[in-house]
Chains A and B, each alone.
Chain A
């Protein structure tokens, strides 16, 4: 019936026009779908995973497109189709507030949307390009390399092309003015911008570092303009460098292994035997054992301490890495270092500046050295004492007088090396068992 009426162009009283609301029925209070209200029970014996696959209907992924059907989309909404009059579309005139000329165009639109502003007008955004008066220009903006005319041209293009400086440089009037680079243009523009902003009392003034930009682009250009041969050469050099580094690492690893072996050997020999073993040998070779022993001690002093590995040239690394104790420093020693650092009131991990790094390493090296010397001294004293006991046991009634300089470790500095050695290395000591 309605169709016939439509064809006859008769009015249909009582049938309201369709609107989106009547189709979607959103005027009625909506049934709320809250996730979790529809709790279905898992049948006995069904695996949880299988159940989860079946019953997660209300966990649908969100639609790719933004939809305006009020959350539920068309899927859940019961669309009410009926014998209702469709809303009209009309080919009608519109004006666009984004235009300055009030030109009218035509498009298809629902008459009900008539009052609304052209929806795309709000996207009409413009960049704010500062303006200046003649006076302002004369007072603040003059430049040796830019005339006012050229500056005006630049500002005009900046407005027209929304600060796309690459395009501005491309469309620059090179007949009137000389060619300018993108950096030149930016430099001038941002300078003017900054000066005007300052005049307006703005706090935040941006500056443009044209030289830096020029250098950056120069570098980039060089990077892009490399010939295939150059790239190949670079690849070759890089791979060579890698090889060298690998070899170096290998060598470093080997020296470390060696050092470890040496220090292990040292520990094993760290008993009185150390001195025994060496002294006779030296004695044989040298008629003046005193000299030999001095050199032995001096040598020990020189090599002791911490040998920090050489970090130079093995690629980029943190400087603090240089302060790491090498692996051959045992736990005992590092504990001791830690302790004495604390006693001195020093940080365990100071900021690794060049100076600190060097001095910190030297300090700890000296500490270790000191410890080593101390323990060596203790060994010597111990040896001395046991020698004395042996001597007294072998020659009852006699006592061996040990000179005071030798027993007192506090007086180290007064020690006369020659004398020590005389005692320590006195021939006929029956210690070499």
Chain B
């Protein structure tokens, strides 16, 4: 730290957690990427089915009813079919819903990712801009009571995404798995009455893609269930052998795995057209070849654009529309500042052509006197982990160290002060 005044940093061993619908990002502050990205689903199976796996610590004796269950966390364990293993998401509407499962995830994070004891590390959590008071207090309580963290802080993920681009005032467009939101941030505070969100995110694209692929009669058997496959010609019926399982994998697991399969398709194939979808224009663009886990492969042309168009063509929920609406709900004096720094973040914004289309749609709706500037990190890591990176920067800034809600403060005034400490 001695030499550190120059860049204003002071690293105090803090941890940063960024929970989302797609995944939880965990890591040390002042590092440039999270140590791990853990899928936001937990596999639960009856205890009899135990083999060898990463499991939550058996030391939470306070939840006895759950000791009969085994919890499976992180990609490797989730992607293996298991007898009676059901997958659950602990998130709902951008907020933590199932606290028991979320605890399992936290246990796992400390145990396997951080590999250090929780009482050594202050913790910074991101939250959705519309998080509820009662949930914030619950998380505060959980971190202080169960994990005995020395200090805790909660920041809206949109604010962190803005910080990650070096801005305290921005209009943050966050397109994640379950929704896309437009969040105005002024001097590091979210203007909560002007937040606009739509349920069109990555999952929506995956759903539409899956419908289309199923209609085309394409077999979506996930890679985890395929033992071997042969090379076939373009559009030929795939020849593959399924793994022999002694049991039927649960429906939730199958759904999840098919979703992962389609997600890969979505990420490699889909593209947003530059302007409103026009079949004639789009058909001139070279098609993309894609091979499914079964070995089936073919070219995809106009479908790529037709599917992705769903994010933009909706009159009330399109990304450009919600961005303009959100800015329009803010005080007129700050609108120019918002338009001049539109920050794009979230994994779903990586769909090809997303940022170009958004800036085009938005420029139509921007007052002619305002300057529109869109800030979108080029790297896919920075885009997917925008909020986490912002948290990583914030938690290691010297002047931030006075902001933490400390264990002492928690013990003196309880969880209810989180609303005041972290507005």
Contacts and interface: CB of A to CB of B under 8 A. Distances in A.
Interface in B161-212: 186-187, 189, 191-194
A167 B191 contact: yes
A107, A160, A217: most-surrounded residue (chain B CB, <10 A): A107
A171 B423 contact: yes
Contact of B189 (A108, A118, A164, A217): A164
B191 A166 contact: yes
Contacts of A124: 399, 402
Nearest to A89: B2
Contacts of B409: 101, 103
Nearest to B406: A103
Contacts of A224: 328, 332, 335, 367, 369-370
Given A103-B150, A103-B407, A226 B367 contact: yes
Given A161-B423, A224-B335, A123 B399 contact: yes
Contacts of A220: 332-333
Interface stretch (B6-14, B55-63, B84-92, B271-279): B6-14
A112 B393 CA distance: 27
Interface in A261-290: none
B404 A103 contact: yes
Given A161-B423, A220-B332, A170 B408 contact: no
A160 B122 CA distance: 23
Given A106-B12, A161-B423, A167 B189 contact: yes
Contacts of A99: 401-402, 406
A102 interface: yes
Interface in A87-125: 96, 98-99, 101-103, 105-110, 113, 118-121, 123-124
B12 A105 contact: yes
B186, B331, B335, B370: most-surrounded residue (chain A CB, <10 A): B331
Contact of A170 (B12, B191, B407): B191
Nearest to A226: B367
Nearest to A213: B333
Contacts of B423: 160-161, 171
A108 B11 contact: yes
B398 interface: yes
Contact of B187 (A105, A167, A169): A167
Contact of A164 (B5, B187, B330, B369): B187
Interface string B376-407: 00000000000000000000001101101011
Interface string B94-105: 000000000000
Contacts of A103: 150-151, 404, 406-409
B420 interface: yes
| Interface range, B side | 35 or more
Contacts of A119: 1, 5, 398
B12 A182 contact: no
Contacts of B332: 217, 220-221, 224
A25 to B, nearest CB: 19
A234 to B, nearest CB: 10
A102 B150 CA distance: 12
B334 interface: yes
Contacts of B1: 107-109, 113, 119
A119 B4 CA distance: 9
Nearest to A113: B2
A318 interface: no
Contacts of A66: 6
A52 interface: no
A121, A166, A221, A226: most-surrounded residue (chain B CB, <10 A): A166
A171 B420 CA distance: 11
B248 interface: no
Nearest to A234: B368
Contact of B2 (A109, A167, A171, A226): A109
Contacts of A110: 2
A120 B368 contact: no
Interface in A182-198: 182
Nearest to B400: A120
A66 B3 CA distance: 13
Interface string B256-286: 0000000000000000000000000000000
Interface string A130-161: 00000000000000000000000000000011
B402 A96 contact: yes
Nearest to A166: B331
Contacts of B367: 223-226
Nearest to A97: B402
A108 B3 CA distance: 11
A231 interface: yes
Nearest to B11: A107
A105 B151 contact: yes
A166 B2 contact: no
A105 B120 CA distance: 9
Interface string A207-251: 000000000010011011110000100000000000000000000
A132 B295 CA distance: 77
Given A96-B401, A170-B192, A160 B151 contact: no
Interface in B299-337: 328, 330-335
B370, B401, B423: most-surrounded residue (chain A CB, <10 A): B401
A226 B332 CA distance: 13
Contacts of B187: 164, 167
A221 B334 CA distance: 11
Nearest to A156: B420
Contacts of B401: 96, 98-99, 105, 118, 120
A231 B11 contact: no
A209 to B, nearest CB: 15
A225 B95 CA distance: 35
A105 B150 contact: yes
Contacts of A221: 332
A119 B331 CA distance: 37
B27 to A, nearest CB: 18
A107 B402 contact: no
A70 to B, nearest CB: 15
A182 B331 contact: yes
Nearest to A66: B6
Which 5 residue pairs are nearest across A and B when measured between Cβ atoms?
A120-B398, A103-B406, A98-B402, A224-B367, A220-B332
21 contacts: A66-B6, A96-B402, A99-B401, A103-B150, A103-B404, A103-B409, A105-B151, A106-B120, A120-B8, A120-B398, A120-B402, A121-B402, A166-B331, A166-B334, A170-B189, A217-B333, A221-B332, A223-B367, A223-B369, A224-B367, A231-B368
Given A96-B401, A160-B420, A167-B187, 10 more contacts: A99-B406, A101-B408, A103-B404, A120-B399, A124-B402, A170-B191, A170-B192, A170-B193, A171-B423, A224-B332
Interface of B: 1-2, 5-6, 8, 10-13, 120, 122, 150-151, 186-187, 189, 191-194, 328, 330-335, 367-370, 398-399, 401-402, 404, 406-409, 412, 420, 423
